[in-house]
Amino acid sequence: MKKQKTERYARTVRQVKQVQQIYSRIGEPLPVEILIDLHQHLGRAMELAEETRCAHRGKRTSNA
């Protein structure tokens, strides 16, 4: 479980850095408030997506 949280955090950091790079390429700095919001909300969104994906994996339908 701890490893999953670490991996999720690392993915979140990578995605935030990618957004920063996009803004850097167009010559606009990414405001600090946006960075904080991205870290807070993106991490939770990724967690929910992972839970949904795992829930779908566990469901099986039978054609009996």
Question: What pLDDT score does 48 carry?
Answer: 80
Entry field: residues in the chain: 64
Rounded-to-integer distance, Cα 31 and Cα 43, Å = 18
- What is the per-residue pLDDT across 1-31, written as a single tens digit (0 to 9) for each? 677 778 878 888 888 889 889 988 999 888 8
- What is the per-residue pLDDT across 30-52, written as a single tens digit (0 to 9) for each? 888 988 888 888 878 877 877 88
Cβ burial of 34 (10 Å; 0-12, 13-18, 19+) is: middle
Report the Cα 53 to chain-centroid distance in Å.
Answer: 13
Question: What pLDDT score does 13 carry?
Answer: 86
Cα angle for residues 59, 60, 64 (degrees, 5° grid): 150
